[in-house]
């Protein structure tokens, strides 16, 4: 029997009862905080297209990471902006590179902070692509050599987890083989498995100074029109040794998150990318939306869809909101 015997509003009347029957919840342990690290000292460069985000030199990055860790955020992921770029992105695997220095500094001062690194050469190449360029084409297998060297240098610096985001075929297996051969058996891989060729990356490319100098990335990133293909990508990455798989972006791809959650048993991450962050920030600055409520609703939607962990530039703000609610 339906109404009036059944009244679903009964469980919504009292805030305590609403909390008790809540099906999905967020906690600080859900979040991974992306950070941009650059060369030099005492540098905190604002990113115009990402209000509230910065490019940090290593010394100030450590302070920012410490602030996040003190709030209860368990993990950061690092993206590097080097002083010099070339066609092969050799700064990406320089043992004295900005990411490698940042990893050493973070692990020395905060051994309990989980430090992850992005493994992709786009931020380090003069052309801005995620792979080696030959005759105007992105070549796959030659790029794997660079990725192996990059992951190796991060592991040698003491990283806790590497996250290949390039979308080259075979990169997970190549990196796993490299790490295992060097004795880094316990360094997990979080693969950007379903990374779509999205228009939502523009602010990130501004932040990382990594926009392609020609063409686009559709020859290696996934077609936004495709869903089933994401299953093939994820299953291949798991077969090659991925410990965690990821969907990127998040909010426009909630169906993909849900589908993959029902397909694989490995942990599933989702990246709330720069465009998602900046749209919420811009709408709030214009007074059209409530930033705090939209931020939390967007993160809750990603978690509800099936993500176990969320990479988000809102990590610090979201944890502050969660803390306030817990104390109230």
Residues facing 134 on adjacent strands: 137
Q: Which domains, from first to last, does the chain contain?
A: 23-327 (3.20.20.70)
Tens-digit pLDDT profile for residues 18-47: 999 999 999 999 999 999 999 999 999 999
**Which position has the token pair 């987890």?**
161
Q: What are the catalytic residues?
A: 195, 248
Question: Does residue 327 surpass a pLDDT of 70?
Answer: no
Looking at residue 238, its pLDDT comes to 98
Could you tell me the two tokens for 327?
């104390």
Could you tell me the two tokens for 167?
């979308």
**Rounded average pLDDT over 202-212:** 84
Looking at residue 263, its pLDDT comes to 97
The model carries a pTM of 0.96
**Which position has the token pair 């003491």?**
158
Task: Evaluate whether 93 touches 146 at the Cβ level (below 8 Å).
Answer: yes
Looking at residue 210, its pLDDT comes to 81
Tell me if residue 174 falls in helix, strand or coil: helix
């Amino acid at each position: 029997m339906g109404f009036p015997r059944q009244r679903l509003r009964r469980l919504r009347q009292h805030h305590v009862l609403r909390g008790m029957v809540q099906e999905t919840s967020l906690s600080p342990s859900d979040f991974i905080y992306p950070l941009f690290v650059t060369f030099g000292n005492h540098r905190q460069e604002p990113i115009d297209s990402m209000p509230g985000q910065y490019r940090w030199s290593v010394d100030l990055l450590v302070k920012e990471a410490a602030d996040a860790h003190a709030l209860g955020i368990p993990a950061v992921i690092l993206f590097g902006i080097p002083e010099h770029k070339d066609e092969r992105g050799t700064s990406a695997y320089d043992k004295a590179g900005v990411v490698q220095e940042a990893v050493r500094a973070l692990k020395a001062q905060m051994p309990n902070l989980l430090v992850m690194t992005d493994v992709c050469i786009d931020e380090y190449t003069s052309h801005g692509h995620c792979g080696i360029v030959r005759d105007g084409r992105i070549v796959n297998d030659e790029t794997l050599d660079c990725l192996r060297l990059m992951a190796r240098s991060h592991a040698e610096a003491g990283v806790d987890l590497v996250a290949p985001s390039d979308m080259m075929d075979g990169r997970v297996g190549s990196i796993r083989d490299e790490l295992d051969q060097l004795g880094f058996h316990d360094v997990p891989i979080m693969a950007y498995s379903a990374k779509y060729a999205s228009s939502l990356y523009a602010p990130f490319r501004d932040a990382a100074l990594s926009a392609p100098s020609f063409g686009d990335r559709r020859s290696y990133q996934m077609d936004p029109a495709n869903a089933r293909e994401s299953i093939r990508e994820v299953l291949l990455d798991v077969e090659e040794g991925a410990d965690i798989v990821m969907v990127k972006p998040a909010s426009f791809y909630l169906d993909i998150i849900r589908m993959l959650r029902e397909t694989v048993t490995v942990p599933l991450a989702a990246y709330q990318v720069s465009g998602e962050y900046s749209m919420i920030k811009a709408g709030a600055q214009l007074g059209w939306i409530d930033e705090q409520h939209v931020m939390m609703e967007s993160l809750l939607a990603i978690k509800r869809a099936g993500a176990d962990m969320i990479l988000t530039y809102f990590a610090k703000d979201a944890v502050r909101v969660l803390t306030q609610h817990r104390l109230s």
